[in-house]
């Protein structure tokens, strides 16, 4: 059992949990965190699949893709959070 | 060897456990803290997979800044405090049958992916040989930086554009939204901020410079400098004012603009866009990275702050 197998399967499990959260969570904030879990799990599978047994260096291309993915995910998170704040203020306005 | 194997298994189990905990925590604050710890442990796992660049980016951006953004929004939803007795209670869970079907389908999809992953050929050569062949022309000696800023520079340009789009959307969405007092740090943390800020600025600059030959680079440096700005906002050393808007806009755009200009500027004389002349490649890459770092830092700080700076009343400034 290599590092790639262990972390690859862990990444898949995280992705699955995130998927479940995205589909099932009632709270908006939790759904967004679950989406982040999905992204993390997918990134972990990519990083695990670029791993090579020790003397060889890992494949740098998936690493660059994952770094790009992390930055894109934080942008998406920020936009989603702005929408959540906006929705919340709209809802509290109508309640008042 | 067995110790490392045990460590890997334990770490992988903790990562999955924390992901589950994130979904199960009742309190939203606890959920976000679990998510941040999850990010940290995942980065540790990536360090074990010999991906230090990705681990650095995940710790700084995925765990650190995402966590800060989530906590900032939670404070907003709870009227300025992070404790549970505000508004924004966790809504009732969806009905049981739907949840069951969701769990079943997500489980099936995950199992299918797991089978595909285990069935895929392992340790087959990917693109690393091509990258190694092209390294002498890239102008840098660190493969990940070469891929990000040279071989796949177009992707990276688009990524900077995504950040720019995000800050534009956030400023538009938040327009006219009622201002909630931004959380401020207590006295102890003020002292911590005074010590940590200069160290973090140096760390950010170092990460940017070292990116050419070792793990590091524009994104990690930008995230660290963005964190400096976030700490500055929290400790009230930085107070955004309407007068800062032109400066902020310039900082958001400078990375994309310089990147695009350099990419197009090197075209001609038998070269296509993004094909830097090898002799000047390192200078051009460092120039792009420095400008992108400024943009990333400014953008992440602005995303944390939320709305565009507006004029605040006198008493609010004094607080």
CB contact under 8 A, A77 and B127: no
CA distances from B307 to A29, B34, B240 (A): 19, 27, 10
The DSSP letter of residue A2 is: -
Q: Are residues B77 and B167 in the same domain?
A: no
A25 to chain B: nearest residue by CA?
B93
Q: Where are the domains of chain A?
A: 3-95
Query: What is the nearest CA distance from B312 to chain A, expressed in angstroms?
Result: 19
Q: Are residues B231 and B153 in the same domain?
A: yes
What pTM, to 2 d.p., does this model score? 0.87
Q: Is residue B39 part of a domain?
A: yes
Which residues in B lie closer than 8 A to residue A43 (C-beta atoms)? 54, 58
Q: Is residue B280 part of a domain?
A: yes
Q: Are residues B157 and B231 in the same domain?
A: yes
Query: What is the nearest CA distance from A68 to chain B, expressed in angstroms?
Result: 6
Q: What angle is formed at CA B196 by the lines to CA B190 and CA B197, rounded to 5 degrees?
A: 90
φ and ψ of B268, to 5 deg = 100, 165
Which residues in A lie closer than 8 A to residue B126 (C-beta atoms)? 50, 59, 61-62
B18 to chain A: nearest residue by CA?
A14
CB contact under 8 A, B103 and A88: no
pLDDT, tens digit, 9 for 90 and up, residues B48-88: 888 888 998 899 888 889 998 998 888 888 876 666 554 44
CB contact under 8 A, A57 and B143: yes
Which residues in B lie closer than 8 A to residue A44 (C-beta atoms)? 15, 42, 45-46
CB contact under 8 A, A9 and B103: no
Domain end marker among B27, B60, B82: B82
Q: What percent of chain B has pLDDT over 70?
A: 90
Query: What is the nearest CA distance from A67 to chain B, expressed in angstroms?
Result: 6
Kindly indicate the confidence band of residue B183, based on its pLDDT and cuts at 50, 70 and 90.
Answer: low
CB contact under 8 A, A26 and B91: yes
pLDDT, tens digit, 9 for 90 and up, residues A21-74: 888 877 888 899 999 999 999 999 999 888 888 777 888 888 889 999 999 999
Q: Is residue B312 part of a domain?
A: yes
Q: Are residues B268 and B138 in the same domain?
A: yes
Instruction: Give the residue numbers spanning the domain of B14.
Output: 1-82
The DSSP letter of residue A55 is: T
A·B CB contacts under 8 A: 256
Q: What is the pLDDT of residue A95?
A: 54
pLDDT, tens digit, 9 for 90 and up, residues B134-167: 888 777 888 888 888 888 888 888 989 999 999 9
Q: Are residues B179 and B266 in the same domain?
A: yes
Q: How far apart, in whole angstroms, are the C-alpha atoms of residue B71 and residue B65?
A: 10
Place of tokens 């109508």: A94
Q: Is residue B106 part of a domain?
A: no
Q: Is residue B267 part of a domain?
A: yes
Query: What is the nearest CA distance from B191 to chain A, expressed in angstroms?
Result: 29
Q: Are residues B288 and B164 in the same domain?
A: yes
B161 to chain A: nearest residue by CA?
A72
Q: Are residues B195 and B279 in the same domain?
A: yes
Q: Is residue B2 part of a domain?
A: yes
Q: Is residue B169 part of a domain?
A: yes
Domain end marker among B82, B110, B139: B82
Domain end marker among B53, B82, B111: B82
Token digits of residue B175: 């327009």
Mean pLDDT, chain B, whole residue set: 82
Which residues in B lie closer than 8 A to residue A51 (C-beta atoms)? 49-51
CB contact under 8 A, A3 and B49: yes
Q: Are residues B142 and B285 in the same domain?
A: yes
CB contact under 8 A, B156 and A68: yes
CB B87 within 8 A of CB B251: no
Whether B318 has a pLDDT exceeding 80, the answer reads no
Whether B34 has a pLDDT exceeding 60, the answer reads yes
Q: What is the CATH number of domain A3-95?
A: 1.10.287.3510
Q: Are residues B194 and B264 in the same domain?
A: yes
Q: What is the pLDDT of residue B142?
A: 84
Rg (alpha carbons) of chain A, rounded to whole number:
17
Give me the number of domains chain B comprises.
Answer: 2
Question: For the ranges A11-15, B89-93, B97-101, B200-204, which has the lowest average pLDDT?
Answer: B89-93
Q: Is residue B41 part of a domain?
A: yes
Whether B205 has a pLDDT exceeding 80, the answer reads yes
CB contact under 8 A, A63 and B61: no
CB contact under 8 A, B117 and A45: yes
Q: What percent of chain B has pLDDT over 90?
A: 13
Q: Are residues B68 and B195 in the same domain?
A: no
Q: Which residues does B315 contact at the CB level (< 8 Å), separation at least 6?
A: none
CB contact under 8 A, A5 and B118: yes
Does residue B104 or residue B216 have the better pLDDT?
B104
């Amino acid at each position: 059992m290599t590092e790639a197998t262990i972390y690859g399967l862990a990444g898949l499990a995280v992705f699955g949990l995130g998927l479940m959260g995205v589909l099932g969570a009632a709270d908006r904030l939790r759904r967004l965190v679950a989406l982040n879990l999905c992204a993390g799990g997918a990134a972990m599978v990519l990083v695990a699949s670029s791993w090579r047994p020790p003397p060889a260096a890992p494949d740098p291309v998936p690493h660059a893709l994952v770094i790009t993915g992390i930055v894109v995910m934080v942008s998406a998170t920020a936009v989603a959070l702005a929408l959540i704040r906006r929705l919340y203020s709209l809802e509290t306005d109508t309640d008042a | 060897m067995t110790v490392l194997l045990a460590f890997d298994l334990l770490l992988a189990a903790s990562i999955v456990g924390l992901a589950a905990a994130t979904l199960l925590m009742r309190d939203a604050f606890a959920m976000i803290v679990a998510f941040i710890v999850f990010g940290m442990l995942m980065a540790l796992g990536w360090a074990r997979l010999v991906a230090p660049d990705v681990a650095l980016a995940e710790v700084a951006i995925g765990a650190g800044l995402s966590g800060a953004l989530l906590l900032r929004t939670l404070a907003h939803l709870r009227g300025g405090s992070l404790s549970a007795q505000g508004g924004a209670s966790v809504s009732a869970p969806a009905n049981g049958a739907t949840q069951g079907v969701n769990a079943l389908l997500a489980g099936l999809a995950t199992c299918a992916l797991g089978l595909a992953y285990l069935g895929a050929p392992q340790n087959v050569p990917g693109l690393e040989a091509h990258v190694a062949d092209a390294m002498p022309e890239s102008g840098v000696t660190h493969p990940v930086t070469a891929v990000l800023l040279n071989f796949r520079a177009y992707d990276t340009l688009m990524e900077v554009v995504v950040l720019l789009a995000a800050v534009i959307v956030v400023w538009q969405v938040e327009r006219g939204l009622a201002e909630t007092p931004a959380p401020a740090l207590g006295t102890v943390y003020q002292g911590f901020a005074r010590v940590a800020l200069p160290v973090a600025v140096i760390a950010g600059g170092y990460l940017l410079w070292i990116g050419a030959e070792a793990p590091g680079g524009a994104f990690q440096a930008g995230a660290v400098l963005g964190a400096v700005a976030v700490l500055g906002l929290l400790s009230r050393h930085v107070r955004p004012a309407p007068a800062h808007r032109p400066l902020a806009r310039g900082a958001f755009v400078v990375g994309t603009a310089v990147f695009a200009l350099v990419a197009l500027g090197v075209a001609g004389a038998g070269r296509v866009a993004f094909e830097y002349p090898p002799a000047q490649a390192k200078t051009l890459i460092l120039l792009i990275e420095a400008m992108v770092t400024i943009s990333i830092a400014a953008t992440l700080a602005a995303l944390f702050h939320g709305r565009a700076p507006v004029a605040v009343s006198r008493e609010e400034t004094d607080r």
